[in-house]
Amino acid sequence: MAESRIAVRKTYKLYIGGAFPRSESGRSYVVSAADGTPFANAPRASRKDLRDAVRAARAAAAPWADRTAMNRGQILYRVAELMEGRRTQFIEEVGAAEGVRAPRAGTLVDRSIDRWVWYAGWADKIAQVLGSVNPVGAPYFNFTIPEPTGVVGIVAPETSSLLGFVSRVAPALAGGNVVVVLASESRPLPAVTLTEVLGTSDVPPGVVNLLTGLRRELVPVMAAHGDVDSLDTWGVPPELQESVEIAAAEDITRILRRPARVSDARFDWTDDRAAERPEWIAAHLEMKTVWHPIGI
Amino acid sequence: MGDGQAIPWEYAPAPESREVVKLRERYGLFIGGRWVSASDGETFQTIDPSTEEPLAEVARGTAADMDRAVRAARAAFRRRWGDLPGRERAKYLFRIARILQERSREFAVLESMDSGKPIRESRDVDVPLAAAHFWYYAGWADKLDYAFPGRVARPLGVAGQIIPWNFPLLMLAWKIAPAVAAGNTVVLKPASTTPLTALLFADVCQQADLPPGVVNIVPGPGDVGMALVRNPGVDKIAFTGSTEIGRRIAAGVAGSDKALTLELGGKAANIVFDDAPLDQAVEGIVNGIYFNQGEVCCAGSRLLVQESVAEALIGKLKDRLATIRVGDPLDKNTDVGAINSRAQLEKITELVAAGVAEGAELYQPACDLPDRGYFFRPTLFTNVAQSHRIAREEIFGPVLSVLTFRTPEEAVEKANNTPYGLSAGIWTDKGSRILAMVRRMKAGVVWANTFNRFDPTSPFGGYKESGYGREGGRHGLHAYVRLEDR
């Protein structure tokens, strides 16, 4: 290889409704590698971008929820297949973003792929685990089925650029929801690369929408948005948590909080016991109970 | 008949005796297993809404009293209750269920006196269901290991619970039974217009020898409830009431680690297709909106009728309305009792006036209302548009708004066109259509060919702005536990 070759750099973009736009605001911010070297410009999404993303998500919500559970599971598994094919690229990017050496980055990427597979398999089982037939004291057939809440807003973990991101997004999708995710502010790039995988997978446009940008700017807008049905606040900085929940209270948005006494920075995403939880699927589900008389 | 003509024959009055209830002149707060006065000695009066006569003086809790109650609950949780074997907790709950059954008449009469609901409903619905809730959750207390596969269920600690005035005893049971079964202790704030059955329930706790502090009851107005919400010693808040207050409560726990479940308002669509058994549907519609004077969060307050049967159905409904008996809640023949409070009566009156002003067509049967007390005629509005206030706002009274539709798509769109999503009804003979509609309704409870059914094993709760979390069933238990790894 000739040493004089100049590498082709990538312009990182948002992912909204299956397309890869820059921010409508024309703004970007500098993302640095873990050692502080400026690395790339990431789009600094605006509130308008966020509203566009929610609109794209809403349009995709009903068709995604209406697919058969097995089909959703297959589509999610397909993402893992494609991630495996880009394993080397992910290892490089996670290593650069998080400042870890290749073996550690390799573990984080492998776990991300495996986690995706774990949640993919839940798609057609969660209804059986959480649903029920209820023995009411009268002649009625009475059953309870889980349904997706709709549009889930996710503030992804700040430190774990890929594994943390996958661990928050996959449970919402497995439950049949669509998502608008705010990537880690300081380490957004592996998530952006994941959207390139999603864009070429079978995940329908609008099911996952990714924004990069400043949390203090976007989180309050996401929390107050009337068309966000459920909110995963894992990556919300502690100083914003209260105001976010107050904003979400206005239209009774569901909230999935980071567990008490768990810090975002310290959480070990490679601990499968701690990070693979059907409760995180359940948090974005509604239970629908149906009554019908029994008789001839 | 029809056209609101009074029925040509009369029932003899059949009043239930009040003798079974021994009202005290004054009730205290129930904290740590004892009766105490409010910290500032204040009291308030609770009245019989059917006569406007005072029933009793009740101690009015303060923020300091809430704190006292939370500390008593915390002490009981630490000292004994949280670690008590589930098998033993279960026995206390079974005892409570039995005592409620044994004293059912007393509870039913007192409930009707304090809330205004007909004795027929308190006797046949509220009290038996309340007992059934304790019975159902009693059996979970020693089976928590089987409830959540792969997980250990731990109690949250102290649960603060705020309940509304429409089903005072039943809502108490919905709140206390699962909480206590899972090993939590509770501080309950009953509604300020209906504290008496909760205070009588304190007596049941004493009879059952429930350890002091496991159940604490502090009546008072809304700001006392907010003091409970904000109290740092509380681990979980459960609220049933309006969406407006639900917002304030959700904001009140913001930034804390408190768990929260909300059961809020509703504006349920009751959808009748042209192949529905119309006579059966009429009974379901009547039960859906006039049950408990319509003071039901899941009431079927929007009737959506397929256009081809609208005229026939509305005719039958008007005939049926003419036979509804409004009056003394303690009369066993009464269908619709008293509205719970003057304030609620005024709200209903205002919204009905808005319906008339906005151009909907009012129908009320020409029945006599008692001279005293808060009564409102069963009301039916036709020519209602989606934009009318009576089609959008929760009225919480015996007021039905009738809209029509032509296709199932239109029915779904109209039904879901509301910020609420608590309940819905579907009437049709076609099973596949029921299931298709069920899937598309954004509502937590869907009644097909029936309405307003409840059961302790059946999860209840809303979508959208009707709140989050479920009560009843295994799902209701989930709201009172923290799941840990095995």
In this predicted structure, what is the pLDDT of residue A220?
97
pLDDT of B391-408, one tens digit each?
999 999 999 999 999 999
Please say if the pLDDT value at position B175 is more than 90.
Answer: yes
pLDDT tens, per residue, chain A with 296 residues: 557 999 999 999 999 999 999 999 999 999 999 889 999 999 999 999 999 999 999 999 999 999 999 999 999 999 999 999 999 999 999 999 999 999 999 999 999 999 999 999 999 999 999 999 999 999 999 999 999 999 999 999 999 999 999 999 999 999 999 999 999 999 999 999 999 999 999 999 999 999 999 999 999 999 999 999 999 999 999 999 999 999 999 999 999 999 888 999 999 999 999 999 999 999 999 999 999 999 98
Joined together, the tokens standing for residue B76 give 């009981």
Q: Do A242 and B254 touch (CB under 8 A)?
A: yes
A292, closest residue in chain B (CA to CA): B448
In this predicted structure, what is the pLDDT of residue B486?
82
Q: Are the CB atoms for B86 and B142 separated by under 8 Å? A: yes
In this predicted structure, what is the pLDDT of residue B330?
98
Please say if the pLDDT value at position B104 is more than 70.
Answer: yes
In this predicted structure, what is the pLDDT of residue A54?
98
E strand or H helix that includes residue A231: strand A230-232
Residues of B in contact with A220 (CB under 8 A): none
Reduce the secondary structure of B315-341 to three states and give it as a string. HHHHHHHCCCCECCCCECCCCECCCCC
Residues of B in contact with A284 (CB under 8 A): none
Joined together, the tokens standing for residue A254 give 């569901």
Q: Which of A132, A136, A241 sits opposite B474 (nearest CB)?
A: A132
| Chain A closest-CA separation from residue B179 CA (Å) | 20
CA distances from A72 to A54, A200, A211, B22, B77 (A): 21, 16, 23, 61, 44
pLDDT of B255-309, one tens digit each?
999 999 999 999 999 999 999 999 999 999 999 999 999 999 999 999 999 999 9
List Cβ neighbours of A259 (8 Å cut-off, separation of 6 or more). none
| Chain B closest-CA separation from residue A260 CA (Å) | 6
Residue with tokens 């940008």: A213
* C-alpha span between B87 and B190 (Å, rounded): 29
Question: At how many degrees (to 10) do helices B86-102 and B127-141 cross?
Answer: 170
Q: Mean per-residue pLDDT for B239-263?
A: 97
For chain B, give the number of residues.
Answer: 486
**Average pLDDT, whole number, for chain B?**
96
Q: Are the CB atoms for B273 and B307 separated by under 8 Å? A: no
* C-alpha span between B60 and B42 (Å, rounded): 6
**Spacing of C-alpha A217 from chain mean position:** 19
Please say if the pLDDT value at position B95 is more than 90.
Answer: yes
Q: Do B450 and A274 touch (CB under 8 A)?
A: no
Q: Give me the amino acid identity at A280.
A: W
**Spacing of C-alpha B91 from chain mean position:** 26
DSSP E strand stretches across B273-395? 302-306, 361-363, 379-382
Q: Mean per-residue pLDDT for B203-212?
A: 98
Q: What are phi and psi of B169, to 5 degrees?
A: -75, -40
Q: Do A273 and B485 touch (CB under 8 A)?
A: yes
Query: What is the pTM for the complete model shown?
Result: 0.96
Residue with tokens 């597979």: A117
Please say if the pLDDT value at position B55 is more than 60.
Answer: yes
pLDDT of B369-378, one tens digit each?
999 999 999 9
In this predicted structure, what is the pLDDT of residue A243?
97
Q: Do B459 and A251 touch (CB under 8 A)?
A: no
Please say if the pLDDT value at position B2 is more than 70.
Answer: no
Q: What are phi and psi of B108, to 5 degrees?
A: -65, -45
**Spacing of C-alpha A86 from chain mean position:** 19
Q: Is B263 a catalytic residue?
A: yes
* C-alpha span between A200 and A210 (Å, rounded): 15
Residues of A in contact with B131 (CB under 8 A): none
Please say if the pLDDT value at position B9 is more than 90.
Answer: no
CA angle A178, A179, A181 (to 5 degrees): 170
Nearest CA among B80, B84, B245, B81 for reference residue B176:
B81
In this predicted structure, what is the pLDDT of residue B318?
97
Q: Are the CB atoms for B126 and B170 separated by under 8 Å? A: yes
Residues of A in contact with B433 (CB under 8 A): none
Joined together, the tokens standing for residue B445 give 């409870």
Nearest CA among B28, B444, B372 for reference residue B202:
B28
For chain A, give the number of residues.
Answer: 296
| Chain B closest-CA separation from residue A30 CA (Å) | 31
Q: Do A287 and B461 touch (CB under 8 A)?
A: yes
Q: Are the CB atoms for A193 and A86 separated by under 8 Å? A: yes
Residue B121: Cβ-neighbour burial (10 angstroms; 0-12, 13-18, 19+): buried
Q: Do A144 and B459 touch (CB under 8 A)?
A: yes
ipTM associated with this complex: 0.96
Q: Given B111, B295, B297, B298, which residue is catalytic?
A: B297
CA angle A194, A197, A203 (to 5 degrees): 110
| Chain B closest-CA separation from residue A228 CA (Å) | 10
Nearest CA among B261, B66, B89 for reference residue B163:
B261
Residue with tokens 């007390």: B373
Residues of B in contact with A280 (CB under 8 A): none
List Cβ neighbours of B83 (8 Å cut-off, separation of 6 or more). none
In this predicted structure, what is the pLDDT of residue A260?
82
Please say if the pLDDT value at position B1 is more than 50.
Answer: no
Show contacts of A167-171: CB within 8 Å, 24+ apart: A167/A115, A167/A269, A167/A275, A167/A276, A168/A232, A168/A234, A168/A235, A168/A280, A169/A208, A170/A76, A170/A115, A170/A116, A170/A118, A170/A119, A170/A120, A171/A119, A171/A122, A171/A277, A171/A278, A171/A280, A171/A281, A171/A283, A171/A284
Q: Given B16, B111, B263, B295, which residue is catalytic?
A: B263
B485, closest residue in chain A (CA to CA): A273
In this predicted structure, what is the pLDDT of residue B367?
87
